[in-house]
Structure 1
Amino acid sequence: MSCIKAAGCDPARPCKASMVQEHFKARPDNTLLATFPKCGTTWLKALAFTVTNRFDHAATSDTHPLLTRHPQDLVPFLEMPYRQLHPIADLEKLASPRLLATHMPITLLPPCVSKLGCRVVYLFRDPKDVFVSLWQFIGKVHTEYTIDRAFDSFSEGLSPYGPIWKHNLEFWKKSIAESDKVLFLKYEEMMAEPVKHVKMLAKFLGVPFTEEEVRCGVVEGVVHLCSFDKLRSMPVNSSGVTDRIGGVPMENSSYFRAGKIGDWANHLTEEMSKKLDAIVEEKLRGSGLTF
């Protein structure tokens, strides 16, 4: 798996997927939120956490955890912070049912995840928007990381988690083969119809909204609390610095850049856009997955 010097993956301290594979102990009731970096991970974490914990924390409560804790901290990653420094056994302390996250491709997930039938929610996003968001995120740490250099690496599939098209395709195929275990969501569709997709997410997670909840506007409450503008405006997300990766402190606001669909048009040249579209379309051809 190729690795570039970027936030979250320093070649001198490689990502230790093997440690997660060897030491992580899945439980049948685990849910894994899987994404390629910058595909809406923070939003998905907020939604999944709020949906599954709504019986203890109503979305309208003025003491809801999302008001005082960053979404990234409410749903821990399997592989971060660096597991050679932070034991994977720390995850054993979490009560069931655990809600966890990962950027790892499906081929590197611990075998026990599939063996035990753990649920997986995967969020897909237009690769052009992913690239722009990733480049700007990395640029906050490595200011010399120009868009041209970043684009060349991304187009060649060089990233800590492999080519985005391979990452997408593997989870897509799994969702078709095991639709009861893998829910494949598209960022653009969720943004267009958030209420519909939050209901879909709740049903998949085994905590569907009741008719009474729907009638009382609970779904809309979840959507509002987890909206990009609402989350970005909270002090816990708009200020401060936290090291969630391990040796790479980032401003909390870095996880809330724009969240817009099609923002790539403000940064990519026409040549870049056509090149990346052609690469991804060729890699996904015949799979039924489109963007």
Structure 2
Amino acid sequence: MSVTDKRFEDERMVDGVLHSSLTSDELLKAVRKMEIRNDDIIVVTHTKAGTTWMQEIVSVLFYGCDFKKADSKSIIERFLFLDIHIPDCAVGPHEIADSLPSPRLIKTHFQQHQMPEQMLTNKAKVVYVGRNAKDNAVSLFHFCNIVSHLRTYEWDSFFHDFCNNKAHRGSWFDINLYWWSRRNDDNVLFIKYEDMQKDLSSVIVKVSEFFGWPIPDGKLDEIVNHCSFVSMKKNPKTNYSDSTTVGVNFKASTPFMRKGKVGDWKNYFTVAQSEEFDKIYEEKMKGTGLVFDYEL
């Protein structure tokens, strides 16, 4: 296993979750105790499950469907990312959060037992995006290979770690099952990535209704076009090309926004790997009612 940066050596397991050097023990403790306001707007996903896509949808609606206003700054700056302490920044995200006016836009990939405790009890609105595990694994595999503070994998090694909950950010199963269990809460909206691919306009309407943000007449088609994967991949405010704050080493062959397809896993999983994963999935997800599309 090769690496791109010696900082990966600071990766470690904390309560069963693999964290990078940018998520210190001190940050994990502080985030658990931070205040979550009832009017906070929070996007939660497992890493590389449609996070940026949903952030753009939420922020466009938040800014009254004013695209110029929404994209006046990078998506990274529009949302407070709870999970990492930006290098060379004097304060952590939990401290920045205290100074932000309400309502705050927040994103996180934290597992249930490491997210702010108040997210379990208050009425802040949460949009959770779940993506089928195989495509999520492939996208996370590529992400690990372009980020300087994460280890670089060969596919077979990554597949093993992903199946055994040892990949970056922890168990795909745990985070999806937790938010699926809360899908009927008034303050939680559970969205599937594949549904965003199949019918983006319907998802946008669901998000607008969830937050109570009406879409002006005639604007929906414009929002769909602006928030399409193709448009976002070209947009420097959403494709991370205008930011160096997260330690991402972009390569021409593997940009931050890569394919956004459903079914790309078939280009990586061998038949044996797919069958092995299907058995794990059946064991962990049996009886939950949570199913995903693996091809469209």
The alignment's TM-score, normalised by the length of structure 2, stands at 0.83
Counterpart in the other structure of 2:225: 224
Seen in structure 2, the aligned counterparts of structure 1 residues 72 and 235 have a Cα distance that, compared at 3 Å, is closer
Greater than 6 Å deviation, 4+ residue runs: none
Name whichever structure is richer in helix by fraction: 1
Counterpart in the other structure of 1:162: 170
Q: Secondary structure at the match of 1:242?
A: coil
Query: Matches of 1:230 and 1:174 in 2, distance apart?
Result: 32
Query: Shift of residue 185 of structure 1?
Result: 0.6
Deviates more, 1:137-146 or 1:112-121: 137-146
Counterpart in the other structure of 1:267: 268
Give the one of 7, 22, 29 matched to 1:18. Answer: 29
Counterpart in the other structure of 1:256: 257
Query: Shift of residue 240 of structure 1?
Result: 4.6
Counterpart in the other structure of 2:156: 148
What amino acid does structure 2 have at the position aligned with 1:268?
F
Q: Secondary structure at the match of 2:182?
A: helix
What amino acid does structure 2 have at the position aligned with 1:50?
V
Query: Matches of 2:151 and 2:114 in 1, distance apart?
Result: 30
Query: Matches of 2:99 and 2:179 in 1, distance apart?
Result: 28
Counterpart in the other structure of 1:48: 58
Query: Matches of 2:133 and 2:91 in 1, distance apart?
Result: 31
Deviations 1:75-123 (A, max 9, x none): 1212223599632121122221111111011232222223321111100
Give the one of 92, 95, 111 matched to 1:89. Answer: 95
Query: Matches of 2:203 and 2:23 in 1, distance apart?
Result: 40
What amino acid does structure 2 have at the position aligned with 1:28?
N
Counterpart in the other structure of 2:244: 242
Deviations 1:153-212 (A, max 9, x none): 000011343210111001100123x2x111111000121111111010011112133xxx
- In the alignment, structure 2 segments of 5+ residues that lack a partner are 1-14
Deviates more, 1:197-206 or 1:226-235: 226-235
Report the identity percentage. Answer: 28
Are the equivalent residues in 2 in contact too, given 1:16–1:82 (CA < 8 A)? no
Query: Matches of 1:151 and 1:137 in 2, distance apart?
Result: 14
Are the equivalent residues in 2 in contact too, given 1:32–1:121 (CA < 8 A)? yes
Seen in structure 2, the aligned counterparts of structure 1 residues 262 and 10 have a Cα distance that, compared at 3 Å, is same
Query: Matches of 1:263 and 1:85 in 2, distance apart?
Result: 40
The alignment's TM-score, normalised by the length of structure 1, stands at 0.84
- In the alignment, structure 1 segments of 5+ residues that lack a partner are none
Give the one of 75, 79, 83 matched to 2:83. Answer: 79
Counterpart in the other structure of 2:16: 2
Counterpart in the other structure of 1:112: 118
Are the equivalent residues in 2 in contact too, given 1:33–1:102 (CA < 8 A)? yes
Q: How does 1:60-71 map to 2 (within 5 A)?
A: 63-66=68-71, 69-71=73-75
